Amino acid sequence: MSLAAHKSLTSPHALIQEERKRFAATLAHELRTPLVGILGFSELLLDDAAAGTPVPASAVAEQAELIRQSGERLLQLTQRCELWLDLTARPPATETERQAWQDEQWPDSIDREVRRMAAAAGRSQDVSVDCEPASLALPDGLLGPVIRQLVDNALKFSNPGSPIRIVGAAADESGYDLTVTDGGRGFPLEQVSRIAAFVQFDRERHEQQGLGLGLAIVRGFADLVGGSLTFTRGPDGRGTCARLHLPRVQHAGNHPHLDAASAVA
């Protein structure tokens, strides 16, 4: 039996069970790591306080910072799970629903968030942002978190010193394209069809953190708004170029909704 035929015979129940297994295999580890940090350093502080041991302020600050970092990682895991659950609970939007969406600008806040992520990773010099002005009708509050998944993926799978380019441009009359290109190790393009929640490419060969939700979130968002997510090699044959296509929305009585005079990051 061919692989395609096997997939066609896979029941929805079997797919759900497979996803649950992937979830159980990765979630416990990803939650345990920050929790161990939070509990471990908290206990050190409590033990020192109970024993009346003088502790230099610098040591307390260092332990508190490690607790904060672990808490931040736990918060990000929680937010990513919430975003994925939100997207998977929504069916693809109808044209009527799209017309009711509020205008979503590509504002300075997105540019600031991308640069904040680059700075936190110590890679401010690696990241460039060049996006044409655009205004699209999208579900409220989802654009920024989705873009963060693409940028986080590029930062995670490329080495410091290699460039990451974020480019946004109108795609003729069809919509708007956002591309995130990195110079990382990439992955076999034939694996693109395997993008799903809790799937990480080559995890057995590379030490990787995370739940494997990032690209699944972006694809879920693309499906929701009637767009697409595609991948190609980087311009020199290395790395990965992720292209998120966002369609224009025809509002009743208006022209296709892409405003070249709008502000953009």
What is the distance between the alpha carbons of residues 137 and 247, in angstroms, rounded to a whole number? 9
Rounded CA gap, 92 and 254, in Å?
23
> Can you tell me the distance from the alpha carbon of 234 to that of 245, in angstroms, rounded to the nearest whole number?
17
- In this prediction, residue 171 carries a pLDDT of 82
Distance CA 123, CA 160 (A): 6
User: For residue 55, what is the DSSP state?
Assistant: -
> 54-58, 85-89, 210-214: which range is least confident on average?
210-214
Q: What's the rounded Cα separation, in Å, for the pair 236 and 57?
A: 50
**Class of the CATH domain delimited by 3-88:** mainly alpha
pLDDT higher than 70, residue 156: yes
Q: Is the pLDDT of residue 186 over 90?
A: no
Average pLDDT rounded to a whole number, residues 231-246: 84
CATH of 95-247, one of 3.40.50.10070, 3.30.565.10, 3.10.20.30, 3.40.190.10: 3.30.565.10
**Domain ranges (residues) in the chain:** 3-88, 95-247
Q: Which has the higher per-residue pLDDT, 17 or 47?
A: 47
CA pair distance 145, 217, nearest whole angstrom: 9
Determine the pLDDT at residue 93.
81
pLDDT of residue 5: 45
Tell me: pLDDT of 6 over 70.
no
**154-169 average pLDDT score:** 90
Cα separation values, 15 from 10, 24, 121, 129, 197, Å: 7, 14, 35, 38, 11
Check whether 207 has a pLDDT greater than 60: no
DSSP assignment string, 188-249: -GGGGGG--TT--TTTTTS---S-S-HHHHHHHHHHHHT-EEEEEE-TTS-SEEEEEEEE--
pLDDT reading at 4 higher than 80 = no
Could you report the per-residue pLDDT of 65-84, keeping only the tens digit for each? Answer: 999 989 988 888 888 888 88
- The pLDDT confidence band at residue 105, using thresholds 50, 70 and 90, is low
Confidence grade of residue 259 (pLDDT, cut at 50, 70, 90): very low
Lowest-pLDDT range, 58-72, 103-117, 184-198, 215-229? 184-198
**What was the pLDDT predicted at 180?**
92
At 10 the pLDDT is: 56
Is residue 197's pLDDT more than 60?
no
User: What mean pLDDT do residues 184-202 have?
Assistant: 55
